[in-house]
């Protein structure tokens, strides 16, 4: 299940969303795609990101920091919070 950096920004503050997306695209093996027509927006696989963050989380401060946010984002994606918020 892919989630866009714009969706991440809807739930998290801008600074945290930028840090999270940068970490995922630069320092993780998570599948990322650039959004067509937008040079600064990416989409990443939220399921892969959660699985990656679980691995040796106690040794990695970024994984510890980002894991609860990834779970929250996955919950929002599953509950379709983004479409509801966008249409309101």
Q: Which residues contact 11 (CB under 8 A, 6 or more apart)?
A: 17, 72, 73, 76, 81
State how many domains the chain has: 1
Give the model's confidence band at 88: pLDDT under 50 very low, under 70 low, under 90 confident, else very high.
very low
Mean of all residue pLDDT scores within the chain? 89
Give the model's confidence band at 28: pLDDT under 50 very low, under 70 low, under 90 confident, else very high.
very high
Q: Which residues contact 23 (CB under 8 A, 6 or more apart)?
A: 62, 66
Query: Which of the 8 DSSP states describes residue 39?
Result: T
Quote the domain boundaries for residue 56: 2-87
- 73 and 8 Cβ atoms separated by less than 8 Å: yes
- 24 and 44 Cβ atoms separated by less than 8 Å: yes
Give the model's confidence band at 86: pLDDT under 50 very low, under 70 low, under 90 confident, else very high.
low
- Residue 41: pLDDT above 60? yes
């Amino acid at each position: 299940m892919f989630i866009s950096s714009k969706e991440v920004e809807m739930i998290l503050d801008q600074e945290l969303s930028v840090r999270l997306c940068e970490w995922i695209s630069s320092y993780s093996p998570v599948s990322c795609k650039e959004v067509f027509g937008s040079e600064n927006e990416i989409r990443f696989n939220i399921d892969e990101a959660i699985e990656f963050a679980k691995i040796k989380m106690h040794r990695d401060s970024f994984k510890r920091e980002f894991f609860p946010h990834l779970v929250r984002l996955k919950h929002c994606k599953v509950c379709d919070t983004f479409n509801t918020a966008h249409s309101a």
